[in-house]
Amino acid sequence: MQEIYLDNAATTPMSPQVIDVMTSEMKNDFGNASSTYELGRKARHAIDHARSQIAAAINADDNEIIFTSGGSESNNTAIFGVAHSRKEIGRQIITTKIEHPSVLNPMRQLEREGYEVTYLDVDENGHISLDDLKSALTPATILVSVMAVNNEVGSINPLAEIGAIVADSNAYFHVDAVQGLGNIDLDVKKMQIDLLSTSAHKINGPKFLGFLYENKQINLPPLVLGGEQETKRRAGTENVPGIAGFGEAVSEIAAIDKAALQAKYSHWQEMILQALDESNVQYEVNGGRGEHVSHHVLNLHIIGVSTTILQANLDLAGFAVSGGSACTAGSLEPSHVLMACFGKKSPRVNESIRISFGRYNTDEEVVAFAQELCKIAHKVQK
């Protein structure tokens, strides 16, 4: 049975070029990057090159890139770092109700420590109100943390507009760009972003690797203590092959026209929706379909069909899709994103699946998926 992978918001297959770069590094540059002899210097050069590749992709300076174990560590470093280093200025933080658990769980921990966290509401398309953000800001606000692209419904936040609002306050602006990098254009200078988190495995790079962009005017305390790696900002011997692969992955995705990529994903969405219409399947799209959404994510409410049944049947037929965030896939809890968009009692919460495309998917795979989805939905709805 052929397996067709349509869960790229959870993770992506590694690029062949990334594998080649990492394999070469593992074979040839096994030195410790902190060592001063030739093998160490070669490893250091590989890290410095990757850092430059990544910085260029988001219009940052090289020394503003800190390598981490992934998006979760980057988010935790930014959130706890700002909270603990700026608590004398204030103890209010603003975020949204549809953030990733690696943002929401640190926020809940900070609430236990006495911080006040404001969770902004979103509309049915997963977008916040800029007026709500302006109203929530106070002189005691030290951090605003808003994701670039939502991982379940694909909503894109207006980062430049948010950055301009936050720049006029006492707060730093943090962006979880794990789903944004590779799908939308990011410019930390133009968007006035102070801190930005990413993950390599979402852009056809290796797992357990990410970076945190930290504006050079900020000096956060490190989350991981130990040696003096990453100019004393993140301890631990660097994963040289992984970092080299990450740099290659970022360079590849930076060279791709994001508008053309989004157009391809939008076309695939329309193929699926047209098939559902032609088969008279009852469905609703969760989130928007306009310009303020990343089309790599299509979240569908198949009316009357539970997420568990639909996902299981698709799995048996060889199609990998998600019932929500991969980080909560083992949980019986419904999607907090869909609850925030539509309410806890909405049937969408327990009758939706997430399809997410990647640059290695094909028209043929999407057609095959659409046919199988219609077949299963038609059978169960009857």
Beta strands in 6-99 (DSSP E): 65-68, 92-96
DSSP codes joined into one string, 255-275: TS-HHHHHHHHHHHHHHHHHH
Largest Cα separation within the chain, whole Å, is: 70
Give the alpha-carbon dihedral of 119, 125, 131, 133, to 10 degrees. 30
Q: Are 303 and 284 in contact (CB under 8 A)?
A: yes
| Closest-CA residue to 136 (of 159, 155, 162, 158) | 162
Q: Where are the alpha helices (DSSP H) in 86-196?
A: 101-112, 130-136, 159-167
Element (H, E) at 120: strand 116-120
Q: Report how far apart the first and last C-alpha atoms of the chain are (Å, whole number).
A: 27
Active site includes 374? no
Rounded distance, CA 325 to CA 149, Å? 13
Rounded distance, CA 124 to CA 206, Å? 34
Rounded distance, CA 201 to CA 205, Å? 5
Residue from 271, 327, 339, 368 carrying the catalytic annotation: 327
252: Cβ–Cβ under 8 A, 6 or more apart, which residues? 15, 17, 18, 204
Q: Kindly calculate the radius of gyration of the chain based on its CA atoms and give it in whole angstroms.
A: 21
Question: What per-residue string of b and e applies to 187-216 under the rule 16 or more CB within 10 Å gives b?
Answer: ebeebbbbbbbbbbbbbbbbeebbbbbbbe
Burial of 71 (0-12, 13-18, 19+ CB in 10 A): buried
DSSP at 156: B
Residue type at 334?
P
Active-site residue numbers? Answer: 327
